[in-house]
Amino acid sequence: MIWETVRLALRSVRRNALRSFLTLLGIVIGVAAVIAMLTIGAGTTEKVKADISKLGSNLLVVRAGHAAGRGGPDQTIRPLQDKDLAALRAHLEGARAISPAAQKQVRVIYGTENITAGVTGTDSAFLDARDWTLASGRAFSDSEVRSGAGVCLIGETVRQQFFGAGDPDGEIIRVNRSSCKVIGLLAPKGYTGFGQDQDNVVLMPLAAFQRRIAGNRDIDNIYVAADDRTPTSELLPRVQDILRDARRVPQDKDDDFDIRDMTQIADTMTSATSTMTGMLSAVAAVSLLVGGIGIMNIMLVSVTERTREIGIRLAIGAHEKHILVQFLVEATVLSLLGGIIGILIGLSLAGIASLTLAIPFAPSPAVILLAVGFSALIGMVFGFFPALRGARLDPIDALRHE
Amino acid sequence: MAPLITFDRVWKTYGQGEARVHALAGVDLAIRQGEFVAIMGPSGSGKSTSMNIIGCLDTPTAGTYRFKGVDAGRLDRNRRALLRNLYIGFVFQGYNLLARTTAAENVELPLIYRGVAAAERRELAMRALAEVGLTGREHHTPAELSGGQQQRVAIARAIVSRPTLLVADEPTGNLDTARTHEIMDLITRLNREFGLTIVMVTHEADVAAYAQRTIRFLDGHVASDAMNAEMAQ
């Protein structure tokens, strides 16, 4: 019986192919927009998460200065010092790696080539803290770190600029007029979500950086990577306590440093993305409503056109519910068809977007199922009133209808 | 045996106040199972109204209409639909076949609402089409059939579920003389061979002559009710 009705509905949709298609357009556009939005949104979220994890996972970043109003006119920033780092190393529990870093954009020269790269002074724990790996060569030895030797690790972009595909190991490059021996090559990390090239870097021992490039003993950041058992949210107050103690911050004063939890930042960005996606989807949902009204309209036309047919069916013994189901199924088939076309178009759009925006293509089966269910629901809801109108017709009047 | 159809002081009133019209004004009537009755009368006489009530499409305003002993006038529309589906077949002047639907599918229609399985439906439809002499035309759509053939499909549809009563509303109204006699012969044969009770509205005397009995309506009353002379033997 129901299969019979579905067949009948398909036949009726096919019979008025152009009209059916135009009616479907609202649903198609609505579903396509929602599917595209949600799929692109999911891709963006994945991309953001991947970017954040490139910075290093479970990472706390400590900077000097207040969290808010950093560098305001009424306060001088007390930079992080070696003793702060030493205090963390001595007292902090639950950290996998603790590493200092001082950075500067500096001109780097090899032969006749020169580029501007992000030069970072740090130690060997940096690679672990920031999830960097070496493609070749070796990390700094302890004695190199202690003495501030003229050695460095370079990123993929720097290698390509200076050495092409060649092996940089043992070559001497000039960083801010002092020479530096390349001892290792970092594995590529690619760009951040903000378009920053993470491979255009040179790492050198902190002491060497401070002496030759910065000209002071300051540390810009201390990276603290949590171990597997310690969530960053637990680690953060410990770091705070130790640093307040080491820096002798009075009880009644705010911290004169700022600790950022990268996991938290990742969560914030993910939720911002999903809010955005949700809002855009809501706008697209309005189109579904319009599509639903279109279906209601065309079903009313269809019921009127087929008044005589309804009369015949009623006369030969159709129950009210038979007529109701017939038109309800027709409306549902119509909107379901629109939904399926919409899903295909939406996924295609998301596919194109993922290619052009370089984000992952992340179609969600749940979202697709939901779209199918929702478009069927639209057909049922908006098809109900016209169907009921057909079912309630008086057979005598309906048979007389021209 | 109780009659198949009884009207007991049946009134049918349309409109309100000044515009009130009595289509039927206290009609008494009885039709036995197996009878072939012609209903005649000028337009507005109440013949169509009484046919609609007999076919359980309409209900009386006052009085009692009994079909198979059931007070059909008090049933709701879905119960009357069931009654029509089980016991009553309809043939209309304008054939009323579903367009762009094959003859076989048209004939199957009442069986669908009865919940008969597809294979059995197809078989019953083929048998009904054979009975009206349309073997070989099962897969033609109404547009591909002549008026007489379309009316045969309509008759097949009416008898496919082996009803007790066939209600025919001007069944030959759209047909030429030759076709009229073919259709009337077919209807007469259904009455004689299957004992099908037939109530037929017509305004043509030679069509009414096929029936055993003629009821004439005038102004909402039964003006005359008599056995047809030539059929009486």
Residue A58 counted as domain residue: no
List of domains in chain B: 35-51+77-232 (3.40.50.300)
* Interface mutation target, options B14, B53, B98, chain A, most CBs of A under 10 Å: B98
Query: In angstroms, what CA-CA distances link B98 with A332, B101, B104?
Result: 22, 6, 11
Nearest CA in chain A to B51: A396
Helix axes B118-131, B103-114, angle to 10 degrees: 130
Q: Quick check: A317 and B52 CB within 8 A?
A: no
Q: Quick check: A315 and B55 CB within 8 A?
A: yes
Residue A68 counted as domain residue: no
User: How does the average pLDDT of chain A come out, rounded?
Assistant: 87
- Can you tell me the mean pLDDT for A236-255? 88
Are A304 and A367 found together in one domain?
Answer: yes
Rounded to the nearest angstrom, the gap between the alpha carbon of residue B24 and the centroid of all alpha carbons in its chain is 19
Q: Quick check: B96 and A308 CB within 8 A?
A: yes
Nearest CA in chain A to B90: A316
Final residue in a domain of this structure, among A198, A230, A255: A255
Closest CA of chain A from B94, distance in Å: 10
Nearest CA in chain B to A3: B118
Find the Cα–Cα–Cα–Cα dihedral B187, B189, B195, B200, rounded to 10°.
20
Closest CA of chain B from A303, distance in Å: 14
Are A292 and A319 found together in one domain?
Answer: yes
What is the value of ipTM here, to two decimals? 0.93
* Secondary structure (3-state) at A330: helix
The answer, yes or no, to whether residue A57 has pLDDT greater than 70, is no
Closest CA of chain A from B231, distance in Å: 31
Are A152 and A238 found together in one domain?
Answer: yes
Residue A306 counted as domain residue: yes
Q: Supply the range of the domain harboring residue A231.
A: 79-255
What's the pLDDT at A56?
Answer: 65
| CB A120 within 8 Å of CB A210 | no
What's the pLDDT at A66?
Answer: 66
The answer, yes or no, to whether residue A55 has pLDDT greater than 80, is no
Q: Quick check: B84 and A312 CB within 8 A?
A: no
Q: Which residues of A touch B85 (CB under 8 A)?
A: 316-318
Q: Quick check: A317 and B92 CB within 8 A?
A: no
Final residue in a domain of this structure, among A192, A221, A255: A255
Q: Quick check: B81 and A320 CB within 8 A?
A: yes
Closest CA of chain B from A322, distance in Å: 8
Residue A66 counted as domain residue: no
Nearest residue, CB atoms, B77 vs list A15, A320, A322:
A320
| CB B102 within 8 Å of CB B126 | no
Distance, in Å, from the CA atom of A117 to the CA atom of A155, rounded to the nearest integer, reads 9
Q: Quick check: A316 and B55 CB within 8 A?
A: no
- Can you tell me the mean pLDDT for A331-338? 92
Residue A56 counted as domain residue: no
Residue A63 counted as domain residue: no
Confidence band of B108 (pLDDT split at 50, 70, 90): very high
* Secondary structure (3-state) at B13: strand
Nearest CA in chain A to B99: A309
* Tally of domains in chain A: 2
Are A342 and A290 found together in one domain?
Answer: yes
* Interface mutation target, options A316, A322, A397, A402, chain B, most CBs of B under 10 Å: A316
Are A230 and A147 found together in one domain?
Answer: yes
Residue A365 counted as domain residue: yes
Confidence band of A68 (pLDDT split at 50, 70, 90): low
Query: In angstroms, what CA-CA distances link B30 with A170, A356, B67, B191?
Result: 118, 83, 10, 18
Q: Which residues of A touch B109 (CB under 8 A)?
A: 312-313, 316
- Can you tell me the mean pLDDT for A194-215? 87
Are A237 and A108 found together in one domain?
Answer: yes
pLDDT tens readout for residues A20-52: 888 888 889 889 988 998 888 888 888 877 777
Final residue in a domain of this structure, among A217, A232, A255: A255
Are A171 and A237 found together in one domain?
Answer: yes
What's the pLDDT at B231?
Answer: 47
Are A240 and A277 found together in one domain?
Answer: no
Number of Cβ pairs closer than 8 Å across A and B? 55
Distance, in Å, from the CA atom of A23 to the CA atom of A28, rounded to the nearest integer, reads 9
Rounded to the nearest angstrom, the gap between the alpha carbon of residue A321 and the centroid of all alpha carbons in its chain is 49
- Can you tell me the mean pLDDT for A333-341? 92
Are A250 and A118 found together in one domain?
Answer: yes
Residue A107 counted as domain residue: yes
Are A282 and A368 found together in one domain?
Answer: yes
Backbone φ, ψ for residue B36 (5° rounding) = -120, 105
Closest CA of chain B from A277, distance in Å: 47
Q: Quick check: A4 and B112 CB within 8 A?
A: yes
The answer, yes or no, to whether residue B232 has pLDDT greater than 60, is no
Are A219 and A170 found together in one domain?
Answer: yes
Confidence band of A254 (pLDDT split at 50, 70, 90): confident
Closest CA of chain A from B159, distance in Å: 11
- Can you tell me the mean pLDDT for A349-363? 88
Q: Which of A201-205, A339-343, A360-364, B196-200 has the lowest mean pLDDT?
A: A360-364
Closest CA of chain A from B84, distance in Å: 5
Q: Which residues of B touch A396 (CB under 8 A)?
A: 52, 57-58
Q: Which residues pair with A137 in a beta bridge?
A: A184
Are A237 and A89 found together in one domain?
Answer: yes
User: How does the average pLDDT of chain B come out, rounded?
Assistant: 92
The answer, yes or no, to whether residue A325 has pLDDT greater than 90, is yes
Nearest residue, CB atoms, A309 vs list B58, B88, B98:
B98
